[in-house]
A = this chain, B = another copy of it.
């Protein structure tokens, strides 16, 4: 059956791009979370039209397809399907930037367009536009992240909200254009997202109703001025006043993008590695060593970062207000422009003497996040999975899945109040401790009213016992957070079956919609869905 289907698949995409499992498919199995999936193979179509034909074959042979954009869903399952026996539909060859409209500040892109690819297009052609990258590296798909409702830190940080207009191959092989896109002549298809009639785009995020082959993506004009603001709270208890300040700054839109509050433990995973020697090979890291490391790197208990974009007058005004609002709440507030950074790089000793800081350390810490906030995709989050690894972080093209790093993400949403943050920390810290892992908390504002709190579980995947503990820790964290009402904004493939079980009208509705659009159940069975 599968063999016959592959016979037909080969005719559609060509020999090279239809691989049964075992034929150059190793990389699709690699994963930073402790799961293994049996797959039937991989198809790499080159166009929406090929996908339409693939879908027809899949329906005929009742074969499930699992579309991925570039498969870098690290910490959530990478390229692996939710269920066994799928054929992975790798869309990375569909990597055209179909249009860049400089006047109206948007692009139209395919699933295989990576952050690098978009960044290079926007800069090399001097479009005057910038993108909002994630920290997960230049090789990640822009479209894939938007469909998973990922986020960044610039004013265009809500990646789904920045999409406008989708092209989707439906499970029956037809092509759906959302918004105004289905009116052939429509002029506003990529500048007004809702269209007329029901607004459908949300249906195709975190779901299995179709294969998105194109999106419109709004882009930000490069601002006249750009400055990054770093601030910190020395003590754990400084978090509470900082949350009040952050909420005020966001609700009043003084800060147009996001603000991150990063815990000391998390900052250290980005700057350094597990101190195996000092800890004599033991885990988890104890408080005394953490304290010494933080003092050496001059990292506070909570570290805030945000960026200002705008004309000279605006950035000036925002800086004044930020200083006023953070006064008495943050212990250090630094604004860093491109100019300051250049200066520090040219004269590290001079600037070091003037500021009393260890400039080479500071620069190492600043550069990657600075670039991201300026719209340049980097690998700022990628060293984190190597925290407990005993081999070095590659200097570039970091691939934690290929390096067999252990990383499981959990990302619950927490309302932006100190009471909620406190309760949330009270839930997760003891669970990390109980399982022998460091808690590395970041609160990222995903809008003006809530944080997404990304929690990485960093473990040694070569150690079977530790791997088991990591899975248990994740399970317990998820349960603990859900019980207290801190629901994740996104899930790894290992947790989806648990999410949709039980009596819930919401998942009943999803099931009905799935049956209506995909009666054969051929697209990504089990992905945020019972079927």
Query: Is A494's CB within 8 Å of the partner chain B?
Result: no
Contact status of A417 and B103, CB under 8 A, knowing A256-B253, A516-B512? yes
Q: Which residue in chain B gives the minimum CB-CB distance to A191? A: B449
* A30–B199 alpha-carbon span in the complex (Å): 29
A105-149, CB under 8 A of B: which get 1 and which 0? Answer: 110000000000000000000000000000000000000000001
**With an 8 A cutoff between CB atoms, is A223 at the interface?**
yes
Contacts of A318 in B (CB 8 A): 313-314
Interface window among A81-89, A173-181, A285-293, A390-398: A173-181
Q: A200-B203, A200-B509 are in contact. List 19 more A-B contacts (CB 8 A).
A: A104-B417, A185-B482, A191-B447, A191-B449, A191-B450, A192-B447, A194-B489, A196-B491, A197-B206, A197-B507, A197-B529, A198-B202, A198-B206, A200-B506, A201-B202, A220-B251, A252-B311, A254-B310, A509-B517
Name the residue in A180, A188, A310, A449 with the highest tally of chain B Cβ atoms < 10 Å from its Cβ: A188
- The answer to the question of A513 belonging to the interface, with a C-beta cut-off of 8 Å to chain B, is yes
Known: A314-B314, A516-B515. A221 touches B487 (CB 8 A): no
**Bound complex: CA A320 to CA B207 (Å):** 46
Chain B residues whose CB sits within 8 angstroms of the CB of A313 once the complex forms: 316-318, 320-321
Q: Which of B182, B183, B413 contacts A482 (CB 8 A)?
A: B183
Q: Is A399 among interface residues, defined by CB-CB distance under 8 A?
A: no
CA gap between A176 and B509 in the complex, in Å: 8
CA distance A105 to B420 in the complex (A): 16
- Complex Cα distance A441/B507, Å? 45
Q: Is B187 a contact of A486 with CB atoms below 8 Å?
A: yes
What is the distance, in angstroms, from A183's C-beta to the closest C-beta of chain B?
5
With A311-B252, A516-B512: A198-B209 Cβ-Cβ less than 8 Å = yes
Complex partner residue of A178 from B105, B254, B506, B516, CB under 8 angstroms: B506
Q: How far is the CB of A258 from chain B (nearest CB, A)?
A: 13
Q: How far is the CB of A376 from chain B (nearest CB, A)?
A: 20
Closest to A180 in B: B487
**A contact residues vs B (CB 8 Å cutoff):** 103-106, 149, 155, 160, 170, 174-178, 180, 182-183, 185-188, 191-192, 194-207, 209, 218, 220-221, 223, 247, 251-254, 256, 310-311, 313-314, 316-318, 320-321, 413-417, 420, 446-450, 482-491, 499-500, 504-510, 512-513, 515-517, 528-529
A249 to chain B, nearest CB (A): 10
Q: Which residues of B sit under 8 angstroms from A187, Cβ to Cβ?
A: 414-415, 420, 484-486
Within the complex, the shortest CB–CB distance from A447 to chain B, in Å, comes to: 7
Nearest B residue to A203, CB-CB: B198
Q: Are A199 and B192 in contact (CB under 8 A)?
A: no
A416/B185 contact (C-beta < 8 A), A104-B449, A513-B513 known: no
- State in angstroms the CA–CA spacing of A499 and B182 once bound together: 12
Do B251 and A105 have beta carbons less than 8 Å apart?
yes
Chain B neighbourhood of A529, CB < 8 A: 197
Among B155, B196, B310, the residue within 8 A (CB) of A528 is B196
Are A505 and B174 neighbours in the complex by a CB distance under 8 Å? yes
Cβ contacts A to B, 20 pairs, < 8 Å: A104-B247, A160-B194, A176-B506, A180-B413, A183-B482, A185-B482, A185-B483, A187-B414, A191-B416, A191-B449, A194-B202, A194-B489, A196-B528, A198-B204, A198-B207, A200-B202, A221-B251, A254-B311, A311-B321, A509-B517
User: Judging by beta carbons under 8 Å apart, are A188 and B413 in contact?
Assistant: yes
| Residues of B close to A484: CB separation below 8 A | 185, 187
Determine whether the beta carbon of B205 is less than 8 Å from that of A198: yes
Q: Which of B220, B414, B506 contacts A182 (CB 8 A)?
A: B506
Q: Are B510 and A197 in contact (CB under 8 A)?
A: yes
Contact residues in B for A206 (Cβ distance below 8 Å): 194, 196-199
The reply to whether A149 and B449 contact each other, CB–CB distance below 8 Å, is: no
CA distance A36 to B508 in the complex (A): 38
What is the minimal beta-carbon distance from A60 to any residue of chain B, in angstroms?
21
Q: Is B487 a contact of A188 with CB atoms below 8 Å?
A: yes
In the complex, the chain B residue whose C-beta lies closest to that of A185 is B485
**What is the distance, in angstroms, from A315's C-beta to the closest C-beta of chain B?**
9
Nearest Cβ on chain B to A82's Cβ, whole angstroms? 12
Among all A-B residue pairs, the 6 with the closest Cβ atoms:
A199-B202, A313-B317, A185-B485, A516-B516, A191-B449, A187-B485
Residue of B nearest to A446 (CB): B192
Of listed A321, A482, A529, residue having the most chain B CB within 10 A: A321
Chain B residue numbers with a CB within 8 Å of A513 are: 198, 513, 516-517
